[in-house]
Amino acid sequence: MPPTDCLRIQNMTFYGYHGVDAEERRLGGKFSLDVEMHLDLRPAGESDDLTKTVDYKAVYDLVRRVHDGEHYLLLEALAEAVASAILAKFAVEEVVLRVRKHSVPLQGLIDYTEVEIRRGRAQ
């Protein structure tokens, strides 16, 4: 049975140069990411030991490196890269990523666009 415990980091906000339009990639904009990591948190809760959980500072640093390391055309590609990096580095069973792009150049007013993906370990 997959773990039901979840560690979340909400609304990490970065300035990035992602987008399909050349102007978006040149001027940049604000992006926000939420990460949910599903794992068994009981060992950490029982021991009060950081080594038995996921260090969210290390997750934040990894998300920042992935976000800043490349200019993505699609939010889907950014989300996939972050999810893959988290699964490769941390002992989590599943990760849910939400990536929001603010100030989207559409012909109307919106708060943001958002992509959500859910990735787990290969069985």
> What is the reported pLDDT for 50?
95
The answer to whether the CB of 23 falls within 8 A of the CB of 89 is: no
Sequential pLDDT tens for the chain (123 residues)? 556 899 999 999 999 999 898 888 888 899 999 999 999 999 999 999 999 999 999 999 999 999 999 999 999 999 999 999 999 999 999 999 999 999 887 777 888 999 999 999 874
SS3 state of residue 43: helix
> What is the reported pLDDT for 22?
85
Out of 52, 57, 89, 101, the active site residue is 101
> Any catalytic annotation for residue 30?
no
Question: Can you tell me the distance from the alpha carbon of 13 to that of 34, in angstroms, rounded to the nearest whole number?
Answer: 9
Extract the tokens encoding 28. 């940049």
> What is the reported pLDDT for 105?
72
Residue 115: is it exposed, middle or buried by C-beta count within 10 angstroms (0-12/13-18/19+)? middle
CATH architecture of the domain 6-101 equals 2-Layer Sandwich (3.30)
